[in-house]
Amino acid sequence: MKAAADVCRAVASYGLPGGALPLPRRPLDPPVWDAVLERAARQRVTGHLAFALEEGAFAATQPQRSAAAEHHERALALDLLLERLLLASVERLEHASIPVKILKGTALAHTRYANPSLRSSGDVDLLVPGSHFDAAVETLCARGARRRYREPRRGFDQRFGKGACVETRDGLQIDVHRTFVAGPFGLAVDPDDLFATHASFRVADRELACLDLEAQLIHACFHATLGDAEPRLVPLRDVAQIALHADVDMDRIVDLCSRWQCGIVVQHATRLAWEAFALTTSNEFVRWGARYAPSPFERRALDAYVGPDRSYARQALAGLSAVVGVRAKAAYARALLVPDAPYLRERDRGYLRRLTRGVRLLVNERTGQ
């Protein structure tokens, strides 16, 4: 229901400077409260809900407070399981001499939020260099975990893909990234840039590597804009949280956006976050995004992710323009149009059907239909 969605947006924005969304001044009726609690859990903003209730900004009955605390305790229990899995995964990768950085959830919770309990996660996100990608997946699968989806051809993900999802025996997920996202924007990012600078945070007694501030902010924009068809509240909050609470080096932001051809992603994510949370605060980062002039490549690329015909197939096709070199383009196209037989059996009924669909997509892309 719309009322629950509006309340959850206000919850997710709680504590941001310039936030204008009101929280309930009196306890919600049971059906609305139940919908709010269910949505808060699904959107992983129970930490912000618990914080707003604790500070008295969200009016609720005692049973409602108890129910919110119970839901948040479940989220925290999952966070602890994921942190344990993260530490074990990093240890195994380091033992195999594979460089690794922590992305998104745990890294942001421990570096960009005043209290890590405010930022919950649903999985573990690791970044490894492309040259180590296959070895990283094999290392993480060595003790009973499994890769959820095949790659089109051997070596495709290491060279062109976003990454792979590894599922443990108990159902937890590790997303192993080579870059930020599939498709043209992920291919435009130089993976070497992601390991060119160093930042870190601590979990328990371990020092863990993560992206530097500016790369974190740009990645948060990727996550907020290019992920789900309907942007989720947590990545939108990440964008606003980092942009409004961190001392961002705008020269580095501009340089990375130029190198990765992704200024439009920053622009779009900032607009979405500011609209979702009705934020009135501005700063240099927000103003730069508002006046940014995207290139034709960026406009075409963004449409593959957020346009009415968004799909993985469109993103893959649009990615061809970001692949550098004739031979690399040929390898990329061949892997997608004529993949290995096991991959084809999982996705299509035959090579002819896949090839026909690919040609149709290409024609539509060229004609603008």
Q: pLDDT for 141-198, tens place per residue?
A: 988 899 988 888 898 999 999 999 999 999 999 999 999 999 999 999 999 999 999 8
Task: Please say whether the beta carbons of 267 and 289 come within 8 A.
Answer: yes
Average pLDDT for the chain? 91
Sheet of 124-127, strands arranged across? 146-147, 163-167, 173-177, 124-127, 101-102, 206-210, 199-203
- Any idea what the CATH number is for the domain that residue 344 is in? 3.30.460.40
Please report, as a single letter, which amino acid is at residue 307. G
Residues in contact with 10: Cβ distance below 8 Å, sequence separation at least 6, in sequence order = 19, 21, 22, 23
Looking at residue 311, the DSSP 8-state letter turns out to be -
Q: What domain count does the chain have?
A: 1
**Helices vs. strands in the chain: H and E counts, helices first:** 19, 7
pLDDT exceeds cutoff 50 at 49? yes
Alpha carbons 181 and 219: distance in angstroms, whole number: 9
pLDDT computed for residue 292 by the predictor: 97
Pairing mode, strands 101-102 and 124-127 = antiparallel
Q: Please state whether beta strands 146-147 and 124-127 pair in parallel, antiparallel, or not at all (unpaired).
A: unpaired
- For position 334, what pLDDT does the model report? 87
Residues 96-122, mean pLDDT to the nearest whole number: 95
Residue from 258, 263, 358, 253 nearest 301 by CA: 263
Task: Tell me the mean pLDDT in the region 317-321.
Answer: 86
Query: pLDDT value at position 336?
Result: 85
Is 126 in contact with 178 (CB distance < 8 Å)? no
Parallel, antiparallel, or unpaired: how do β-strands 173-177 and 124-127 relate?
parallel
The pLDDT of residue 312 = 77
Which 3 state secondary structure label does DSSP give 160? coil
The pair of structure tokens assigned to 315 is 């993103």
Angle between helices 62-95 and 133-140 (to 10 degrees): 120
**Nearest residue to 211 via CA among 94, 108, 140, 89:** 108
Q: Which domain holds residue 146?
A: 2-367
pLDDT band at 363; cut points 50, 70, 90:
very low
pLDDT greater than 90 at residue 218: yes
For residues 330 and 193, the answer to whether their CB atoms sit within 8 Å is no
Measured CA to CA, the distance from residue 58 to residue 50 in angstroms comes to 9
Tens digits of per-residue pLDDT, 66-95?
A: 999 999 999 999 999 999 999 999 999 999
In this prediction the pTM is 0.90
